[in-house]
């Protein structure tokens, strides 16, 4: 017999786990703080890799559904210098292993693959406590509770489940990004649209950088990164979009206008995202009846692997539970034994830090060349 599983968090990792458990006929309930699937925007493009994220989707039996939502051509890459000089213009020839999809579309595919009622919406966790013998009680903000014999924290960076296992907490990495959106870019923002091209734009510089994606419906979604302390961003009044946009743009004075337009021409108020990470190699001793996946387990600086690793965590945990019916502790131990080194490996990469002197367009291209990309 299988122990019913309780998952906290209906992000990509938690839903992948729920889907794999459903495939193996293991009872599962997902509790999510959002009031509905459409309660908030689900972020931008994700490149789903053939060496982790796609493996998770194969385990979930959803590769055909995944291929149906891939945005063709979005693996194209352009690297520009600050003055707008194009140093790399790599088209999407269809042979890459990182097809792009909208996060919201991928989440919908996972949700649609689950039986109605699997996800309990509007259940914000206020606390979790151990009842002994591997059982835990989850308390919700509305006063309700749930008791479970197998609890999985898939609840992200500020996980309410993590304290059962670890005292570690995310710390600011010295960098934040400001998100902007330019709609109908071909007709309304042609210079910026030309700079971005059909896929992704990277314009790096020591201490600052601009990333941008061409999303569905001719939308440009930019991530403006700055290596600044939190106090610096706290002094920017993001309640005044015009003033905030001008303050951020000032840090890019002298850059090509088609690049700074990704800041100044935003069709929405700029959104600040402070970036945090758990200690590299974060792990814990085995605690009966509970584990973590995704950012709850191994939040790291953004490197393109976070969503992919969360999904692979979910698939691997689901497979382990299916392989050890009646012995959840053995399954959790096997899952964690593989997950710890995997997440530590991908928490570090060869990319220069934002504040590095090597964080330049030519430095990035040299790195691509060194790795045969």
Q: What is the token pair recorded at 190?
A: 């042609």
Q: Are 170 and 184 in contact (CB under 8 A)?
A: no
Binding-site entries for FAD: 47, 103, 295
What gap in Å lies between CA 263 and CA 270, rounded to an integer?
A: 8
Binding-site entries: 40, 47, 103, 295
Give which of 286, 304, 361, 315 is closest to 103, Cα–Cα: 304
Q: Which residues contact 233 (CB under 8 A, 6 or more apart)?
A: 176, 226, 272, 274
Q: Are 73 and 101 in contact (CB under 8 A)?
A: no
- Residue 356 has a CB neighbour count (10 Å cut-off) of 14
Which pLDDT value is given to residue 215? Answer: 96
3-state secondary structure of 174: strand
List b or e across 247-285, with b for residues whose CB sees 16 or more CB atoms inside 10 angstroms: bbbebbeebbebbbbbbebbeeebeeeebbbbbeebbbe
Binding-site entries for NADPH: 40
Which pLDDT value is given to residue 349? Answer: 61
Q: Is 167 exposed, middle or buried (0-12, 13-18, 19+ CB in 10 A)?
A: exposed
Which pLDDT value is given to residue 373? Answer: 59
What gap in Å lies between CA 267 and CA 187, rounded to an integer?
A: 13
Which pLDDT value is given to residue 354? Answer: 74
List b or e across 220-241, with b for residues whose CB sees 16 or more CB atoms inside 10 angstroms: bbbbbbbbbeeeebeebebeee
Residue 184 CA, chain-centre distance (Å), reads 25
What gap in Å lies between CA 45 and CA 106, rounded to an integer?
A: 10
Alpha-helix residue ranges (DSSP H) falling in the chain: 12-23, 53-59, 63-69, 103-112, 185-188, 190-196, 230-234, 241-250, 257-264, 295-298, 306-323, 328-347, 361-370
**pTM higher than 0.85, yes or no?**
yes
Give which of 110, 104, 103, 108 is closest to 17, Cα–Cα: 110
Helix (H) / strand (E) element for 217: namely: none
Q: Are 98 and 41 in contact (CB under 8 A)?
A: no
Q: What is the token pair recorded at 7?
A: 């998952």
Residue 14 CA, chain-centre distance (Å), reads 13
Query: Mean pLDDT of residues grouped by 10 in the chain (373 residues)?
Result: 89 98 97 94 90 97 97 94 96 89 97 98 97 96 97 98 98 97 97 97 96 96 97 97 97 98 97 96 97 97 92 98 95 98 82 76 84 63
Which pLDDT value is given to residue 198? Answer: 95
Q: E strands of 73-205, at which residues? A: 77-80, 86-90, 100-102, 119-120, 125-132, 135-140, 145-148, 151-153, 171-182, 200-205
Q: Which residues contact 251 (CB under 8 A, 6 or more apart)?
A: 208, 226
pLDDT tens-digit map of 295-332: 999 999 988 899 999 999 999 999 999 999 999 999 99
Which pLDDT value is given to residue 196? Answer: 97
Give which of 357, 340, 242 is closest to 293, Cα–Cα: 340
Cα angle vertex 218, ends 306, 112, to 5°? 50
Q: Are 92 and 39 in contact (CB under 8 A)?
A: no
Q: Are 210 and 89 in contact (CB under 8 A)?
A: no
Which pLDDT value is given to residue 350? Answer: 61
What gap in Å lies between CA 255 and CA 210, rounded to an integer?
A: 11
């Amino acid at each position: 017999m299988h122990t019913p599983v309780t998952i906290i968090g209906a992000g990509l990792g938690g839903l992948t786990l729920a889907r794999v458990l459903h495939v193996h006929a293991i009872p599962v309930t997902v509790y999510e703080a959002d009031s509905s699937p459409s309660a908030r925007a689900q972020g931008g493009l994700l490149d789903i890799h053939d060496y982790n994220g796609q493996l998770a989707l194969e385990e979930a039996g959803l590769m055909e559904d995944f291929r149906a939502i891939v945005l063709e051509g979005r693996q194209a890459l352009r690297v520009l210098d600050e003055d707008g000089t194009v140093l790399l213009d790599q088209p999407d020839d269809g042979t890459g292993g990182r097809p792009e999809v909208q996060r919201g579309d991928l989440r919908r595919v996972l949700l649609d693959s689950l039986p109605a009622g699997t996800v309990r919406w509007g259940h914000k966790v206020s606390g979790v406590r151990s009842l002994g013998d591997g059982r835990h009680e989850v308390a919700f903000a509305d006063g309700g509770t749930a008791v479970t014999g197998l609890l999985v924290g898939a609840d992200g960076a500020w996980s309410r489940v993590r304290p059962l296992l670890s005292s570690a907490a995310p710390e600011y990495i010295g960098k934040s990004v400001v998100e902007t959106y330019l709609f109908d870019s071909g007709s309304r923002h042609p210079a910026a649209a030309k700079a971005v091209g059909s896929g992704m734009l990277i314009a790096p510089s020591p201490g600052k950088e601009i990333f941008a994606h061409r999303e569905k419906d001719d939308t440009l979604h930019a991530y403006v990164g700055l290596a600044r302390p939190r106090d610096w961003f706290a002094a920017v009044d993001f309640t005044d979009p015009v003033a905030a946009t001008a303050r951020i743009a000032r840090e890019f004075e002298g850059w090509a206008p088609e690049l700074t337009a990704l800041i100044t021409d935003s069709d929405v108020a700029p959104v600040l995202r402070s970036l945090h990470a758990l200690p590299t190699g974060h792990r814990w001793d085995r605690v009966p009846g509970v584990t973590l996946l995704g950012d709850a387990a191994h939040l790291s600086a953004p490197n393109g692997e976070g969503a992919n690793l969360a999904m692979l965590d979910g698939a691997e945990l689901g497979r382990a539970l299916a392989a050890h019916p009646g012995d959840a502790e053995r399954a959790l131990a096997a899952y964690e034994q593989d997950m710890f080194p995997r997440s530590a490996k991908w928490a570090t990469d060869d990319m220069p830090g934002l504040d590095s002197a090597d964080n330049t367009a030519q430095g990035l291209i040299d790195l691509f060349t060194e790795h045969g990309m």
